[in-house]
Amino acid sequence: MTSPLALPDREQALAHAAGLVLDSWRGFDRARPIQPALDEGLRARLDGPLPERGSDAGDALTLAAAVLDASLSQPRPRYLAYVGSSGLEIGVLGDALAAAHDLNAAVATGGADLFERQALRWLAELIGFGAPFDGLFAAGGTISNLTALAAARERALPGFRASGGDGRPLALYCSAEAHYSVRRAAELLAIGSRNVRALPLDGRRRMDVAALGRALAADLRAGVVPVAVVATAGTTLTGAVDPLDELADVCAEHGVWLHVDGAYGLPAAATASAGALFAGLDRVDSATVDAHKWLAVPKACSVLLVRDGGALERTFGHHESYIPHGAELTHPVDRTLEYSRPLRALKLWLAFRVHGAAAFRDAIERNLAQAGLLWRLLSDHPRLEPLHEPELSALCFRHVACASGDVEEDRAATAALVRAIEADGRIYLAAATLDGVPCLRVCFVNHRTTDADVEAVVEVVDELACALGAAPSPAAA
């Protein structure tokens, strides 16, 4: 008997889907002149009731593709807001193949486990994590950071997972510009967000090493248990890389776990131009890399590398009767938070296998150079001002129209400019605030972005700011 959920003509549906995917890839090859709005006809089709009977798969796929085409897609070369993905084509195919087999990578699969092991090894080699190492794939950087910090908590207070902390106060340490996922982890791990020590920055917007030493010493005197120091390898706001080698010295002195949140920036450790910024990576206890950011594969594909794989098993391991264990049989579920776990490793494994490490280094170098290009263009522009020199590929800047000196006026002017950029649709940037200054922020992580796209940022922002009437026109300047 035929399944009620069998696709009537799967060959035709697959061919149609392949054509739609190819059309989207072609659309990502170059910037389009404007971001289209979702028209009322499509909106109406997405507002209907639950269908009682099925309809043609090709029609449903076409509708889905049309809605996606009108959505903000990070693979587009001028989507420069946040730290996006660029939907690497071989990764898309890897996701489709993995979904077709629908393995549960929470348990031993008898074969697909090898993709994860080899991809972990390749990534560790690419960035210079060093041996020994172990690791896992997770849903995103927030989950990877949470997993690492749970293991750090268990090492700081063995048995915490079973008995809790017995009232002992705990603390985490990071820079003032660390990602919010550190506070979120503190909240979920019963450390408390108020016990996150957000340490001051040095002159390069990195964690102040001396301040860390003082904070650790003060907490230890007060009976507070340091759980971990979280260094950032590429802050979201400005791309700053904390001094890992110096932080490793302090952590070794005090016996504290050193975790690196390199979700955005750590792939740059593989490059000649930025690699020196990551000295000391081979001394850390754990590190997070989001392969769906600067390694271009589709979301979500985060990687956690750890020096001691046993730390994960001591933190998450369970031996339930419905999951068999043996002397030679271990399961990822005993090292992760997830019980239903897709095969995320395949897309990264395919990306390395198909493109090779050199191609990734070249793509990252190009993005680093594009950030430098934008900084020079802004520095030479009469109405645009970079707020810092880029360390990696993120850069904050502002227009003179948003620089009156009154914070509230500048915030309103920046918000108006951001709305104009979004409505215009030629580029997509994010609003930010740096040292109290409202500004615009770009981040180059897309392998499709060209130098012409960088130049377009300057041209479009200046044009739209002048059109708002708050600045002299380019012709009059």
Identify the H or E element spanning 230: strand 225-232
Query: Across the strands, what pairs with 226?
Result: 171
Domain 102-355: CATH architecture, name and number where available: 3-Layer(aba) Sandwich (3.40)
Q: What is the pLDDT of residue 245?
A: 98
Q: What is the pLDDT of residue 471?
A: 47
- pLDDT tens per residue across span 6-54: 998 999 999 999 999 999 999 999 998 888 888 898 899 999 899 999 9
How far from each other are the two terminal CA atoms of the chain, in whole angstroms?
76
Task: Spell out, as residue ranges, where the chain has pLDDT lower than 70.
Answer: 321, 326-329, 469-477
Which pairs with CB-CB distance under 8 Å and at least 24 residues apart come from 428-435? 428/35, 428/72, 428/76, 428/78, 428/79, 428/80, 428/81, 429/80, 429/81, 429/457, 429/461, 430/81, 430/82, 432/237, 432/396, 434/237, 434/238, 434/387, 434/388, 434/396, 435/387
- Domain range annotation of the chain: 102-355, 358-467
Phi-psi region of 102 (alpha: psi -120 to 50; beta: other; left: phi over 0): left
With 0.85 as the threshold, say if the pTM is over it.
Answer: yes
Burial of 171 per CB tally in 10 Å (0-12, 13-18, 19+) = buried
Three-state DSSP class for 303?
Answer: strand
Tokens of 136: 């896992």
Check residue 50 and report its DSSP letter. Answer: P
CA 185 to chain centroid: 16
| CA–CA distance, 270 with 127 (Å, rounded to integer) | 5
Domain 358-467: CATH architecture, name and number where available: Alpha-Beta Complex (3.90)
